[in-house]
């Protein structure tokens, strides 16, 4: 760091202005940005459960994602390099370039870049993580298999690989290899549905909201969409910022933004409550066993529509739109509308049971009714 830098915030501003300290872009282009955006959503739900006072995410800052402990007075940063793995394992060859007898690491490999960037930060506390959906097949000092380990600190690697990595870093920095701390960077294998990132994020958010705000659990997909759009917008803005405040406002995603997005859910009608109210009205004269079966089907329908979206088996493909328009125009009672919807769905969806037809009719009636409320 240049002379005169005495605070972490100043250090982060200097780093922002130095293109040589940023590893922009990735081999997956737009898909890489999607991976980063959806992964940040998952990470935010993890942080929120710990109820931190603040946090800040910036995409394409040194690495794919930088996580700061504060948006106003940062003292720590965690750098994340995100890599998808279609098949096979991550090995020393693909992680550090180490192979053969020499085990010499290569500067163009991901772990070298990540470790060097972490070590560039000297005033603030910096750590790094290589995050992937794949597994690691590396030699450990313990002699145990690494294949099922989800977190592996670089300091846990076997002596041959670790010592050569430290020696190579020390040679570049002109220091003693003993002063190279490999524990500042770890390898992480996470259960990420890489081929359906949005569905995975919807599931994570559904679980999160079911715990912290169950009244909004049914709006998980809407919240994910909102957060994704915001993160995608900031991820595209990689232009250099002249100050910390500008970086936060132009490219940052703060805890405040997340909280506002959750707060905005309160302005959206509670779909779960609306469905249950309609179900109670439609089923008031049913046998209890029928009520129980249809309610269970309705719960499955709502959950799978959030998790799977248009690809779910509950997709009615707007086949009820016309009948709902007619029902509104002629002011049909709910019971008539329900019975008509059941007849139409029975003709079109013979793969669904009677209970599921009833549940889907109630679900689609509710969605139509809510869509008619002026914004």
> In this predicted structure, what is the pLDDT of residue 214?
85
pTM value? 0.79
> In this predicted structure, what is the pLDDT of residue 235?
80
Q: What's the CA gap between 193 and 224, in Å, rounded? A: 15
Buried b (16+ CB within 10 A) or exposed e, 46-60: eebeeeeeebbbbbb
SS3 for 321?
helix
Q: What's the CA gap between 54 and 226, in Å, rounded? A: 20
**Phi, psi torsion values for 70, nearest 5 degrees:** -160, 150
Q: What's the CA gap between 300 and 37, in Å, rounded? A: 28
> In this predicted structure, what is the pLDDT of residue 26?
47
Q: What's the CA gap between 227 and 41, in Å, rounded? A: 7
Q: Which two tokens stand for residue 314?
A: 């509950």
State the CB neighbour count (10 A cutoff) for residue 286: 14
> In this predicted structure, what is the pLDDT of residue 191?
86
- Chain position carrying tokens 């705000």: 213
| Cβ–Cβ < 8 Å for 63, 31 | no
List, for the chain, all residue ranges whose pLDDT scores fall below the cut of 50.
Answer: 26-30
> In this predicted structure, what is the pLDDT of residue 24?
59
């Amino acid at each position: 760091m240049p002379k005169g830098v005495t605070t972490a915030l100043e250090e982060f501003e200097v780093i922002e202005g130095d293109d040589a300290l940023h590893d922009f872009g990735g081999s997956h282009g737009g898909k890489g940005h999607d991976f980063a955006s959806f992964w940040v959503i998952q990470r935010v739900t993890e942080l929120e459960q710990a109820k931190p006072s603040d946090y800040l995410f910036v995409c394409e800052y040194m690495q794919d994602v930088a996580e700061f402990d504060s948006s106003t007075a940062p003292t720590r940063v965690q750098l994340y390099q995100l890599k998808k793995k279609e098949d096979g394992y991550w090995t020393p060859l693909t992680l550090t370039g180490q192979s053969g007898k020499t085990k010499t690491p290569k500067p163009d490999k991901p772990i070298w870049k990540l470790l060097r960037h972490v070590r560039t930060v000297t005033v603030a506390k910096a750590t790094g993580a290589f995050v992937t959906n794949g597994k690691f097949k590396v030699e450990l000092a313990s002699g145990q298999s690494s294949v099922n380990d989800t977190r592996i600190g670089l300091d846990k690697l076997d002596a041959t690989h670790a010592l050569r990595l430290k020696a190579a870093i020390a040679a570049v920095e002109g220091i003693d290899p003993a002063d190279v701390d490999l524990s500042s960077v770890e390898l992480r294998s996470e259960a990420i549905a890489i081929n359906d990132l949005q569905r995975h994020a919807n599931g994570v958010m559904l679980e999160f909201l079911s715990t912290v705000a169950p009244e909004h659990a049914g709006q998980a997909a809407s919240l994910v969409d909102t957060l994704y759009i915001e993160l995608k917008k900031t991820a595209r803005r990689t232009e250099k910022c002249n100050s910390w405040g500008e970086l936060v406002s132009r490219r940052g995603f703060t805890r405040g933004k997340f909280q506002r997005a959750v707060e905005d859910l309160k302005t959206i009608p509670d779909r779960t409550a609306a469905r249950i109210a309609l179900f109670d009205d439609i089923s008031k004269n049913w046998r209890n066993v029928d009520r129980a079966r249809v309610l269970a089907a309705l719960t499955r329908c709502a959950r799978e529509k959030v998790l799977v979206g248009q690809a779910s088996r509950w997709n009615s493909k707007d086949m009820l739109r016309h009948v709902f328009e007619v029902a509104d125009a002629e002011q049909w009672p709910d019971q008539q509308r329900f019975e008509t919807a059941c007849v139409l769905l029975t003709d079109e969806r013979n793969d669904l049971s009677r209970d599921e037809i009833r549940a889907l009719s109630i679900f689609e009636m509710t969605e139509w009714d809510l869509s008619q409320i002026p914004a």
